[in-house]
Amino acid sequence: MRAKKYFLTLAVVYLAYLTHGIQAIVLSQNLDALAAQWGTDAAGVYSAIAYTGLAKFVTVWICGEISDKIGRRPMAVIGAIMYVVFFGGCLMTTNFTVACVLAFLAGAATSFFDGCLYAAAQESWIKAPGAATILIKGFISVSGLIYPMLVVSLRNAGGTAWKVGLIVPVVMSVILLIIAAIAPYSYDEEMKERKAAGVAAEQKKGLDHDAQIAMDRFKTPAPKWLVVPLAIMGFINMATMYSAQQLLTRYGLTYVGMSDAVSAGLTSLYTAGSLAAVLIWAFAMAKFRWRTLKILIIDLCGSIIFYALVILTKNVTIIQITSFAIGFFAAGGALQCGVTLINEFHPGPKGRNLGIYYTLMGLAGYVMPVITSALVKSYGDEGLASRSSLGLNLIFAVVGLLFCLYLAANYKKWFGVSLMSAKGPDDIY
């Protein structure tokens, strides 16, 4: 009944991330057209993309803190306004500097969403918060699956038809803004009730009811220093996901020698893999009570295998298969599982934990495009640069796996149940 009451809230969450799925790839998918419009080259567009990550790095933590202070609705509305400005601005500007500012704005908008909407999803669907969170990735995947093929068809139409690919997310952002302004938010309602009752002590302590339940799950408290590597997992999960999302199309085109349509299809295959993973993992979590750490370990193992494979071959069929597999393992909810993980091992205000995690995630969103841009300039070959960047993802996945295996080895000591067991209290995050 609660999910039904907050249906419109969930619509805000999933429409926001459906639009975000386009925002995340809109610059790379329209790279040549935007480079010509902005008077720059491929390296310049990758530099602009880096500004989205820089914005996330410097804003997401504070956005999480602000969300806990002022509520979910103002954050969602501001984020939607920023998206309208970003997509509309990219459609009209011919100035590269302005384009970089708009890219920064897009990254900041995503911080506003991340700071409030992950929590809003969990708060609106309390019977299945893990599934509510991982479904966010499903909606990102849907737009990531469809949008690259739309871009190809518009590009083949010639002329200024490609601009329709920017008009569509402008319209989506306007609709999002309207719904975000009218939807109810349980957290905001509870804030008003607490304020009316003069109850603020619990909020000031920084430990809400759900966080206290999470603390009570520990048999032996986990070390507090774990928050550092748990936050670093935000960097690792973002790096292994974001680079492939940005690079697979260009990698197929410039390194493997695929046609425009076939290379664009790699991003769609990648997204299809991520969507398949979301459905499978959400089912496993809801039906069999698989723990998020178990899923993350599987994801990192698969990422290692298929990143190694994609950089070792130029066979088109194998690369198509590995693109799907990378989407499944690197982008099928690993980022969202990391959010759940930091809340599980380091209970506290959700906005703050999201801020810590997504700050490191934002750093990856900035660093990886900067590295790719530098490699393009260094090699003088976009294909080789893309291959090297994908190789870095392999290294990050190995580091992440080693840390997760450490968590797995100590899981029973800390929680009193085996990682592989379905017994024990449900994860509340």
Q: pLDDT of 336-372, one tens digit each? A: 889 889 988 988 777 678 778 878 888 898 899 899 9
pLDDT of 288 over the 60 cut: yes
Q: Which of 356, 382, 380 is nearest to 369 (CA)?
A: 382
pLDDT at 429 over 50: no
Burial class (CB in 10 A: 0-12, 13-18, 19+), 395: middle
**What is the pLDDT averaged over residues 205-229?**
77
- Please compute the mean of the pLDDT values over residues 296-321 and round it to a whole number: 96
Answer whether residue 424 shows pLDDT above 60: no
In the block, residue with structure tokens 């997504």: 358
Indicate the pTM of the whole model.
0.78
The 10 Å Cβ neighbour count of residue 102 is 24
Q: What is the mean pLDDT of residues 63-69?
A: 87
**Long-range Cβ contact pairs of 377-384 (< 8 A, separation 24 or more):** 377/43, 381/254, 382/42, 382/250, 382/254, 382/255, 383/250, 383/251, 383/254, 383/255, 383/256, 384/255
Mean pLDDT, range 68-84, rounded to an integer: 96
Predicted confidence at residue 126, as pLDDT, reads 76
Instruction: Give the position of tokens 């804030």.
Output: 191
pLDDT at 70: 94
Query: With bands split at pLDDT 50, 70 and 90, how would you rate the model's confidence at 305?
Result: very high
Residue 272 CB neighbour total at 10 angstroms: 19
Q: How confident is the model at residue 421 (pLDDT cuts 50, 70, 90)?
A: confident
Tell me, what's the pLDDT at 245? 84
Which whole number is the average pLDDT over 286-303? 91
> What are the φ and ψ backbone dihedral angles of 65, each rounded to 5 degrees?
-65, -45
Is 83 in contact with 19 (CB distance < 8 Å)? Answer: yes
For residues 258 and 254, give the distance between their C-alpha atoms in angstroms, rounded to a whole number. 8
151: how many CB neighbours lie within 10 A of its CB? 25
CB atoms within 10 A of CB 64: 29
pLDDT of residue 199: 54
Provide the pLDDT confidence category of residue 61 given band limits of 50, 70 and 90. confident
Residue 39 in tokens? 């008077």
Helices (H) and strands (E) in the chain, counts: 19, 0
What is the rounded average pLDDT of the residues 322-339? 90
Q: 118-138 in b/e burial notation, b at 16+ Cβ within 10 A?
A: bbbbbbbbeebbbbbbbbbbb
What is the average pLDDT across 400-419? 94
* pLDDT for res 426: 45
Note the pLDDT tens digit of each residue in 161-191.
999 999 999 999 999 999 999 999 999 998 8
Question: Span 196-210, mean pLDDT?
Answer: 56
Residue 257 has a pLDDT of 94
Residue 168 vs residues 87, 105, 107: alpha-carbon distances, Å: 9, 19, 19
Mean pLDDT of 46-61: 90
CA distances from 145 to 18, 137, 312 (A): 11, 12, 25
**Average pLDDT, whole number, for the chain?**
89
Q: State the number of CA atoms in the 13 A half-sphere of 29 facing the CB.
A: 30
More confident residue, 128 or 323: 323
Indicate if the pLDDT at residue 423 is higher than 70.
no
89 pLDDT exceeds 90? yes
Out of 213-222, 329-338, 383-392, the most confident range is: 383-392
Confidence of residue 3 (pLDDT cuts 50, 70, 90): low
404's tokens: 């997760």
pLDDT higher than threshold 60 for residue 425: no
Taking the C-alpha atoms of residue 306 and residue 96, their distance in angstroms, rounded to an integer, is 36
Q: What is the mean pLDDT of residues 100-122?
A: 93
Tell me which of 11-25, 37-51, 125-139, 358-372 is least confident. 125-139
The pLDDT value given to residue 428: 39
The pLDDT of residue 204 is above 80: no
Q: Tokens 């499978």 identify what position?
A: 280
Under DSSP, the state recorded for 428 is -
Mention every residue, 6+ apart, whose C-beta is less than 8 A from residue 254: 381, 382, 383, 386
250-271 mean pLDDT? 91
> How many of the other CB atoms lie within 10 Å of CB of 276?
16
Q: How far is CA 368 from the centre of its chain?
A: 14
Q: How many Å apart are CA 294 and CA 391, to the nearest integer? A: 25
d(CA 369, CA 391): 14
What is the Cα–Cα distance from 12 to 183, expressed in whole angstroms? 8
CA distances from 287 to 2, 135, 280, 296 (A): 20, 15, 10, 17
Percent of the chain whose predicted confidence (pLDDT) is above 70? 92
Residue 401 CB contacts under 8 Å (≥ 6 apart), including other chains:
297, 300, 301, 304
Q: Are 162 and 155 in contact (CB under 8 A)?
A: yes
